Every structure is written in C-alpha cells, then in structure tokens.
Structure 1
C-alpha cells in the first residue's frame, strides 16, 4: 500500500502561486493591481482515507467539451476547420480513498471520414469531492482528460467524440468500469475557417540616452503564438520587419500609425496581398507609447494600429512579452471591435456586450476560455480561463476578461471571438488584388491607375492636422466616401486652382484620446492623379487644414555601390554580413528630400518597404535580409524613392548573393 504522501504527490492540482502586483506608472487602466490567486482549487484532504488504496471503483462521464479557445457546455461557439481542437472529458468518480489518477482513450469520428483513437495529453487526478461540480472542473486545465485532435483531420463536416476506455493509473492501468462512456457522445459541426494576414513593423528609435530600441525576437514570437492560440483563424500568415522610425522619440501612436500606413500603401502598390493588416510595434525601453488603432465599420484591412511591447508582466502575464495580447487588442479595433465593459477605465464601450464588467462570462453564461498553450515553452502552459467567480466555496479562480477591455487577464469572449471570425471571413473574401469597384462596397475597391496615396493626421477637433506623406501609386485602396462634416482631399494645379475634390473616410484612433465625431483620426486614401495635379490640400468645413504644393522641379537621385558592414556590432544592425545601401540625392531648388527603400526577393514581382521618411541617403540592411525575403536562387533587388514632399524620383539596384 502506498503512503498517503506518495499518493498526494501524484496530484497535479496541489500547490499555490501568488500573483505579484502589477507594474505601476503606465498610463493605462490595464495595469490594475491584482488580488492573490491560487494555482488550483483548494483540496479538503480531510476527505481522504489513508487506509485504502486510491483505486477508482467506477466512473461516469458528465460532459464532453470541444473547444478551440472559448466555449460553453452547450457548444454555442462554432468549431472551425484547420484549427487546433481540444476535447475535454469530465468525470465523476467513485473511489474509497477519495482520490485517484486516471487515463483513457478517446474515439473521434473526424469530418474527413477517419476514425481516430487518441491518447490524452496526460493522466489527470480525480477527487470524489469534485463530483457534481462541473463548472469547477471546467475552470482548471488539469481536472479533465484532455485530447488534442490532429489538425489535418479538422475539415468541414460532422465531428463526434466519445470515451472508449478509462484506465486506473494507481492500479496498473486496469480498466475502470464506466456505465455511460459508450453512450455519451459529443457531436459538433465543423465549418470552414479562414487564415488571417498580419505584418508587424518594428519601429526602431534612439531614446534620450542615445540607445537604439527595437522590439525583441521574443515579442514577435509571442504575437505569432498568441494570435494562433486566441484568434478564430486557421493559421496566421505572419511577416515581421524592422524599420527606422520616421519621427524622433518620443513619438505617439498617431505618428506611428501614419508611418505604418505609408509602408502598407507602398507594399500594396508593389504586390502585397491587400487583405493584410499592418501593425506598428514599439519597444518600451525608452518610454511607454500607448497604443491606438482605427475602428472601421466595414471590412477594411487598410485600418492601421500600433502599440507598445516589452517584458513587463503587468501582474498576470509571465511569458516574457506583453506585446501579444496588447497587439491582439489593437488589431481587434482594426477588425471593427469597440471597447467592452467600461469597468476598468475604457471609453466608447459596446452597448451590446453581453457580460458584466468586461468579463468573458457571467452567472447565466458560464463560458470558459481555454488556452492550449505552446508545448515547447514552459511559460506558455495549457490554461483554463473562467470568466466568472466559481459558485463553489474554497475553489478560487482568476477571472478572465475580454481582450477589448482594459482589465487584466485578457482573452477573447465568445462575443468578440464570433464577431472577429465574421469580420476576418468577410475580409478574406475580398480580392487580393484589383477588382471592379462594383464588386465591393463603395470606396473599398483596390483601384488601379495613376493615383496619389495621401496619409494625413487630423488632430482632436479637426481644426488642425498634417499631411504625413504623398506617394504616387498605381494600386491602392481608395478609402473614399462622403461623411457628414468629413474632410475632403482637394487636388490643385500649379497655380493652386482646384482640380478636384474627393471626400475621404477617417480612421478614428481608438485608445488615442479625444471623444466625439471629430476625435483624432487618420486619413489614408487614394485620389486620382494627372500631370496637371501639382498640389494637395486637406479641407474640413471648407477650411484648409494642411497643404502641400509641388516644386517646379523634382528630386535627382543616383545610386552608389553597396558596401559590406564591418566586423564590429554597432547601431542599425551594423554586423558582419550586413549591407550599407548608399545613394546621393539633390533638388535643383534646394528642397529637403526624404527617402523610401523597398526590397524584392522575387525579381521585382513584389516589394517590401524597409524604410520611409529617411533623411540621410543611406540604409544599413541586416545580414539576414535575403532569408527574410525568402530568396536563395536569385539576388535581392532594391529600390530607392526620393521625395520632396510631392515630386518623386526612383532608381533600382541589385544586391548580389
């Protein structure tokens, strides 16, 4: 007979971890101080009988749950194809010792016609004191037999699962009698899922102490993992790159968004799938840049967001980077989601959000989030995420809140999950490239022909603003449409005479301050161009907010030969194997120039933007740029564009392997 201490050591649910207070000082309610929380339910050891072996005499399946991130026991959240799917089997047990350790096998009838027999992720402890307490069991990751369904089998169609064997791991793996296992089946319908496309631009800057700040690889990696674990998508089409910030530090999220919008416009003009969302990521080593993003009312992948990242744990996030859920929040805005709750300082909350205080569940809707974790990282374990306080005494849980709130412990509620799935599905149905305007909602078509893509900021009240960039393009999302009291982009000839007026949409900057219909916003829109257009003006209520008029002559540009970087590490990725691109630029009328640099790894079919707004005629490229572009068989091409604010000049060069 085992000693009681040996038996209890096998119970994975024992133990307690106290949450430390959140970091202070960040200008955001998301850093609220948290109460202590237990790592598992409190166990009443007085109910254990040390005089008998912990065999499980019999068991009953109480429920089978199929989850991909958030679910209730009625399975009101849809299951999508090609997404990681976990099946949780909950048991009531009869054991004379009061506890036991069990394993088993699950039979899955997959939609692709295959019949699978699966082993659980691990054995689990079972206690008779948990009998009849389903919500308690659902609130902890290790209180159910959990099975991981191979993604390849998750295609659209009918799916069902049932437990076909149950084994006693304290009794040499013998079968446990189970009266209802064969008869208890969970059936769900799997619908087609879609991917999500996200490009994260790390904005490099030099802080007040002369230190260069960049997002770290862990920040990019955690974003990749979090979106695939939390967002309702089949997979993440994910790209990252570092770009020098156009604005000197400290800059705000509105300035960051303007730069990222220009980068995206150049990329789309040069072959990038227009269904790709762009996000600017800023390391908090030099200071905290609060994030903000546009909240479009219709499917518009051109909506831009940006936000901070760093290692701060905020009292609840211990995976080494908070950029994952923070990016999830801001990208959620670009997918049409407003704030929820209003309990943690949020403004502009969604009145239709169904759960109190921004939680992901309430007394009548016992949803439980489930983060499947990342098996190769201990800091990303599997974790159940209850959205309400457990009704059982002595079973503390940490309450999880919707990612569109400012509250701690953020995950997607069923409401946000389904709304984001609907929006991503609609965006995925958009054409990747040009299409007839009639096929899309007005103003959302990717238009072709000679155009000027305008990126401009509107400050609070719209009485002032600035044109951030003007880029000549041949492919662009128009983002036009009349808005009551909204701005117009006015094109001018060389004498300042009006050629045309184009009403444009405003992407309001949620989380960026201000309120009302004229809160701060961003214009990123394309207007028709012709040789006669020599100026652009932004007007609100007939008043000029910002104007750029072309010079009579344009920039002159000439490339210099690229050179290899030195052996010593220095600023701007100046490392062995790096390449310094150089050029010379001049303007006959002495106008200051700025430069953009694009690179292509597929012989010019598509281009990625690696710099905008450069004032020095050079750019240091990291050693791994060819690998980032996916090019091995052919050289990398690069393109430099010089701009005087309106006129441009362009030259191309080649980096030999």
Structure 2
C-alpha cells in the first residue's frame, strides 16, 4: 500500500542449535538504495535468536524490518542477508541471501466523520471513553488498506440511551443531509459518518445501512470478551461496521448471517494453518503478529483481525467505487459501482423536505426524525422509485405530491452475547430522502407497499416564526462556551423543534451544532466549534412540517483554535542504531481543519533539518548523535503548535541499551483441534532483554494440560487437553495466565479448542437421539435457537446446521449412536 507503514519479516532457521545472529536488508528504489537493520526490541539490538524450529506467530522468531517512508511507493527491490560478515560459523553461507520485488498500489484514503455520542440516564451523562475514538482510528489505519485517514470528530448528546442503532443511523443520515445541503466545508460527499455509543448505560448493537453505506454505528466499552485486552472493543467492532459501509458482507461464522461466500474454513484469516502458504496478520500500531487461526473481522467470532480476502475487497472498493458511488442512494451503490455507472443529475436547487427515519419491516413501525424544509444548494440525489412513498397532502387530504422511494436496508452487527448469539438479527429499512416541498402541505404520509399507511405527520397551515437573539453581531467569545438564544412562536400552537447551525465563513458553509431541541437556548462548547471572525448562527424552527429560520444580524468572532499535537512514538530518550528505522508518529487534530496529516504535519531535527511530512514518518538515515525532533502541526489559518522529543542515534547497534526486563508470552492465541491433528500447541515464554525471569503458569479450565507450570526464561510450554477431559463436541474457550514471580506482571493468552462432535443430535450425550432433540436441531437450523443448547448438530463446525446434518441426526435417532 503506497505510503503506508511497511514491514518486512525475514524468516530464518538454524540446522541445529539456537544461535544469536544479525541480519540486514538493502532496499532499492530506482537508482537509490539504503541499508536497513532490524528493529526487534531484543538484546543485543538488531539480533535475534535463530532457532531450528521457529514459530512465525512469535514476533522475535523472525527478523523485523521497517522500510523508510521513501521506499513505500512504486516498485522496490529488497535484498536480505542473514549473518552478514559471517560472524556465526556456518557450513554453508550460500543460502544466506534472498531477494524479492514489491510493487506498491495507490489507494485513496477514507474520510470519516466520527461522532462521540453521549446520553443521559437520570442525572448521569454517559460519555465515550476518552481514548476509544483514537483506538478505533488506529485499528482501521493498521488493518484497512489505507495509508492515512482524513477524519473529523464531533459530539452529540441524546436525552436518553438510543437503544437501537437504527435511531443512531437515522440521526447520522440527517446530519449528513444537512452537510450535503449546505455545502459543509472540508467534508467531502463520500465521507462515512460513524456513531460510537458507550455501553455504560446499556449495550447497543451496531449496524450499518445498505452495503455500501454512508453511515454506520456501534457500541464501545472495556469488555475484553476474553481476548481483547487493550481496554476497548470499540476498535474492531467499529472496523466491522465500517467495513460494511465500504461494501463488505458478513463472513457467515459464529452466528453472522446474510453474508456472501468466504474462502477460509471457520472464518479464519488463512486457508492453511501451517507451512509457507499460511497467512498471518500484523498490527503495525502494536507490532503484534496474529496467527492463521485468528478470525476475520467480518465474522462474529472472537480473536478478530482482517484476512487478505477482506483486505483485497476493501482495497478494490476504495480504488474503484468510493469516489463515485456516493452520488447514488445507498441501496444502489453496489450495483452502480459494479456496472461502472455515472450518477445522474443531482436534485435541483430549491426547497426540499428532509425526511429521515427508519422502518422495522417486521412490525411496520416507523421512527422519523423531525421534518424540516430546507433550501438545497449542494449535491443531493433525488429519490429512486420503489414500493414505498412519501405523500404530501393539503388541508382537505388531497395529494399535492407523491414521491415513490426505495428505502435502504441495514444489517445488525454482532450482539453483546456473541458468538453464542441469541438476539434477533433485526433488518432495518432506512428512509433518507430530500424531496421537493409543495406549498400548502399540512400532512405528510409514509406509505408502504400497496399504499398501506405506515405513519402520518401533521401540522397547522401557518409556518412558525423564529428570531435569533444572541449572538447577533459584534460579539467576541473568548470563554468556554458560546451562549445561543432565540425566540419562536407558531400561530397554530404547534409544538416546535429547533435545529441550530453555525457558520465560520459568513454563511458560505454551515455546520449543524445542535438538533432536536425544544428549548429556546443552548450553550455551545467553544472548544468544539471552528473559530472565525465571520461567524454566524442560524436557527431553524419546524412545526413538524413547515420551517422557518433566522440568522444572526451580523458576524461575531470565535477565536481560531490552536492545533493539538502529541508525539506518540518514539518514546522520549529512545536510542537507535544507525540504519535502524525510526518510526515517528504524531496525533494531530484541529477543530477548524480536522485531522492534521500530510503537509500539515512537519517533522524536523535540530541536527539534520527537515525530515519529512505526515502523521507517520519512518526514517533510517538520521546522523549519529543526539537529536531534538519536533513535530509541527499547522492548520493553515495561522494556528501552529508543536511537540518535541529527544532521541539518540549511535554508530554501532551494540551501543543501544537493552530493553527493560519484560515477560513476553506468545503466540497471542493458542488453538487446538485434535480431529485435524492439532492436539498440542507451543507457548513461548521469554524476556527480550535476555535476563532469566522466573515465571509460573496456570490454566483457567481443568481440561487444559500444561507440560510444566514454572521455570525460567527462555522456555517453552506444551499445551494440550487432559486425556479424560470428556469435552463435548463444539468450541471451548480457556485462558493461560503466565506470571512474572518478581514483578507480578501477568500475561493472559486465550486458548480455543474445537472438538469434533460425537453423535450428531445427541444433545445430552446419553447415546440416543430423541424427538425433542430433533426438534431442537430444527430450531437451530431455522435460526430460532442458537446452537448453544446442542452444538453437536453442527457436525462440520462451520457455524450452521444444514439439512444434511439434520438427516444425520434422524439416522442416529432411527439406528442409534455408534
């Protein structure tokens, strides 16, 4: 992926003993070449222990290199040599070199509008935990085929827990429509809008719209689910929902439904689990290796990463579709992209009735956002005829206009109880239309197939009136809030709902800052609205249909915000050897501009001058000595902020201080499947610093067998299943905890065991299949039950109960088990 942080793993082995050895690569791009040393955090630096039987799931069982940023585009040649200088005696030096060529592909980066959504429960407001949005963005940056992400962070508060993703997605669709209608600066039409909802007051299952979709939402919280220990599951959960938004379907494993064909058994990220064809995942943000037994992010399984299948599918969509299909309604995007269609003319300028909401097709229940009539001056597609209709009627009930439309569909995401899913997979239909308004309308009907009336919105004939009171021109706001107030009335006495917009450029563009209000004042958080000397407030009032608005009489001023910048890596005081790649990373954000990357983030050394630009920058050519490295963020509007660290480059990697003592246990997941010949797995316990650490290990379940439970690093534990464990067929989970005896630090490694079923249909294991058990199997096959009551119906462990498996159970009922 051109411009993306790129790593090279050099897999080596010895013929007999474990030996400490070095390696080096030479990278060539055109006539320019550069030598690069490994970045493994081991002692001595740039060396690893080369083993006769290395495990590719263990990071330091292979040399790890990072390519300098200059060498991450075009066609690059990489030549690797192990044991350069022949320091380690060998019987054959001819097999120490290997060469490969890599071609980088250009992929446009996605644009995301991230909503951190809060809600009230009693007097308490549940916030999105401070780091969860960043963790999700980092997960996407590592897993998705993108080199950078353009994003904006917004906040919105619900008066109560939203309870359903359909409500959140309807809110997001409305926000997007306001942006499109009023030409929100910076945010492009192809941006995806994502809502993150904290689970402190209740779990909200996530969903997206029709795949691909302009919106998606999901929960976040600290539940590890037995395998994710970074403090937030909102990262991979959000990755799942956004992958839907970029056109990816479910991989139908662990309860995920309504998907498409997936090439690897049990939803794994690799077809094979060992050997040279096995595929491994790599998380660049954490420098972690995920084995081929990890599951694809589009399943509902635990232990999620991204497969090459999903990775390539996302890349294909981003390259071919993202920048063109947004001009179509969500439900048409996939077909439009596949057919190479060009969008028709956008809706012409004029007053449009904004109709956004959702339909539960099982109950025909309709939830609508407040209706507004707004002028359209942006690029907004019109409705595509379908079985549903928006009908405008006058006071006598006569039809003034009928707009047939096709709602987009939404797929529910993983539930709180997955993988043993018990929640209904709710299909959601979304209404997302801006239709021409007809004067004289006092009633709006939503009709379903066959003209069935689903819901009605009514209002009196008179339009409301609204007047902005403050700010109304000339004010300069330097405090924490911007107080906004207005007066409003309605001749018919209809209840009014208000929508507040803010402009920083004298009305050229507008941004929604508050919506769904019934009061006539609000205090805006000044830290979240863009600064400007030509600021205006616009308040919209709706009586349910008719709309009025008013704007500040003259501009006021909100001071420009300084950018926020923090250096994430490397750590202050870090020491590197010459030719080791130094990976610089900074978080930069500006309220006016959004994410700061590319030319807006400049890296500079007090010794070597300008190093380059970007949120991330990888360099292996720094001069020897101590450097003060500064990341300078510039919003392009006079706001500049910087952060600095000090690092040292030494001439000889042997001068790099050893890493601190740390108990390191890998692989990060162990998998056992006796029926497939994998009755045991190896767990490696080590200290990269090289000093022996005393450790002890324990298993969470009695069926787990450890070859030994204590020792000194480096060491290896063989993990298996106790002979008389008597595990039923199906999937079983456990964990192994390894503890450093001195520091008390613990590492928890999940263990997954898949046991082939015994007698298909014999739920209670008594050797017989009864009628009641057959009924249970039918309900599992129909999706009425999960497979938790009787996993042995799933004979091939593919996550589904098929007709063939039901037939097997019937035969066992007739002929007995045996």
TM-score by length of 1: 0.72
Choose between structure 1 and 2 for higher RCO, CA contacts under 8 A separated by at least 6 residues. Answer: 1
Question: Which residue of 504, 524, 530 corresponds with 2:432?
Answer: 524
1:156-209, Cα deviation, whole Å (9 max, x unpaired)? x3222111564599x7x9999842444x211122222111011111222111x4
Aligned ranges 1:575-590 → 2 under 5 Å: 577-590=480-493
Tell me whether 1:501 sits opposite 2:410 in the alignment.
no
Match of 2:222 in 1: 311
Work out the CA distance in 2 between the residues paired with 1:369 and 1:331: 19
Q: Judging changes above 3 Å, is the alpha-carbon distance between structure 1 residues 334 and 433 closer, same or farther for their aligned structure 2 residues? A: closer
Are the equivalent residues in 1 in contact too, given 2:210–2:245 (CA < 8 A)? Answer: yes
Match of 1:288 in 2: 203
Match of 1:609 in 2: 512
Work out the CA distance in 2 between the residues paired with 1:562 and 1:153: 52
Question: Which residue of 329, 348, 362 corresponds with 2:240?
Answer: 329
Work out the CA distance in 2 between the residues paired with 1:557 and 1:330: 39
Tell me whether 1:236 sits opposite 2:149 in the alignment.
yes
Q: Judging changes above 3 Å, is the alpha-carbon distance between structure 1 residues 521 and 444 closer, same or farther for their aligned structure 2 residues? A: farther
Q: Judging changes above 3 Å, is the alpha-carbon distance between structure 1 residues 107 and 279 closer, same or farther for their aligned structure 2 residues? A: same
SS of structure 2 residue aligned to 1:336? coil
Match of 2:354 in 1: 453
Match of 2:79 in 1: 162
SS of structure 2 residue aligned to 1:91? coil
Pick which of 601-610 and 267-276 moved more.
Answer: 601-610
Question: Which residue of 220, 223, 232 corresponds with 2:136?
Answer: 223
Work out the CA distance in 1 between the residues paired with 2:500 and 2:328: 24
Aligned ranges 1:60-75 → 2 under 5 Å: none
SS of structure 2 residue aligned to 1:264? helix
SS of structure 2 residue aligned to 1:285? coil
Q: Judging changes above 3 Å, is the alpha-carbon distance between structure 1 residues 441 and 613 closer, same or farther for their aligned structure 2 residues? A: farther
Are the equivalent residues in 1 in contact too, given 2:357–2:431 (CA < 8 A)? Answer: yes
Are the equivalent residues in 2 in contact too, given 1:83–1:234 (CA < 8 A)? Answer: yes
Work out the CA distance in 2 between the residues paired with 1:538 and 1:643: 18
Match of 2:564 in 1: none
Match of 2:24 in 1: 105
RMSD of Structure 2 on Structure 1 (CA) = 3.2
Work out the CA distance in 2 between the residues paired with 1:478 and 1:100: 65
Match of 2:12 in 1: 91
Are the equivalent residues in 2 in contact too, given 1:99–1:126 (CA < 8 A)? Answer: yes
Work out the CA distance in 1 between the residues paired with 2:150 and 2:36: 29
Work out the CA distance in 1 between the residues paired with 2:504 and 2:225: 40
Match of 1:205 in 2: 119
Match of 1:566 in 2: none
After TM superposition, give the deviation of residue 532 of structure 1 in Å: 5.2
After TM superposition, give the deviation of residue 478 of structure 1 in Å: 2.9
Q: Judging changes above 3 Å, is the alpha-carbon distance between structure 1 residues 253 and 531 closer, same or farther for their aligned structure 2 residues? A: same
Work out the CA distance in 2 between the residues paired with 1:261 and 1:434: 14
Q: Judging changes above 3 Å, is the alpha-carbon distance between structure 1 residues 315 and 558 closer, same or farther for their aligned structure 2 residues? A: same
Question: Which residue of 234, 256, 263 corresponds with 1:354?
Answer: 263
Match of 1:128 in 2: 51
Tell me whether 1:179 sits opposite 2:91 in the alignment.
no
1:12-35, Cα deviation, whole Å (9 max, x unpaired)? xxxxxxxxxxxxxxxxxxxxxxxx
Match of 1:384 in 2: 289
Q: Which runs of 5 or more residues in structure 2 are unaligned? A: 41-45, 414-422, 473-477, 560-818
Question: Which residue of 21, 28, 35 corresponds with 1:117?
Answer: 35
Work out the CA distance in 1 between the residues paired with 2:505 and 2:292: 48
Match of 1:639 in 2: 538
After TM superposition, give the deviation of residue 251 of structure 1 in Å: 2.7
SS of structure 2 residue aligned to 1:604? coil
Are the equivalent residues in 2 in contact too, given 1:114–1:153 (CA < 8 A)? Answer: no
Q: Judging changes above 3 Å, is the alpha-carbon distance between structure 1 residues 544 and 333 closer, same or farther for their aligned structure 2 residues? A: same
SS of structure 2 residue aligned to 1:454? strand
Are the equivalent residues in 2 in contact too, given 1:295–1:335 (CA < 8 A)? Answer: no
Larger gyration radius, structure 1 or structure 2: 2
Are the equivalent residues in 2 in contact too, given 1:281–1:307 (CA < 8 A)? Answer: yes
Q: Judging changes above 3 Å, is the alpha-carbon distance between structure 1 residues 106 and 592 closer, same or farther for their aligned structure 2 residues? A: same
Match of 2:741 in 1: none
Match of 1:269 in 2: 181
Aligned ranges 1:442-591 → 2 under 5 Å: 446-450=346-350, 451-461=352-362, 463-471=364-372, 472-474=374-376, 475=378, 477-478=380-381, 480-483=383-386, 486-511=387-412, 519-531=427-439, 533-540=441-448, 541-562=450-471, 577-591=480-494
SS of structure 1 residue aligned to 2:12? strand
Work out the CA distance in 2 between the residues paired with 1:181 and 1:419: 36
SS of structure 2 residue aligned to 1:265? helix
Pick which of 488-497 and 309-318 moved more.
Answer: 488-497
Work out the CA distance in 2 between the residues paired with 1:530 and 1:176: 88
Work out the CA distance in 2 between the residues paired with 1:558 and 1:175: 86
Match of 1:621 in 2: 524
1:45-103, Cα deviation, whole Å (9 max, x unpaired)? xxxxxxxxxxxxxxxxxxxxxxxxxxxxxxxxxxx2121211111112356xx223333
Pick which of 544-553 and 324-333 moved more.
Answer: 544-553
After TM superposition, give the deviation of residue 113 of structure 1 in Å: 5.5
Match of 1:429 in 2: 323
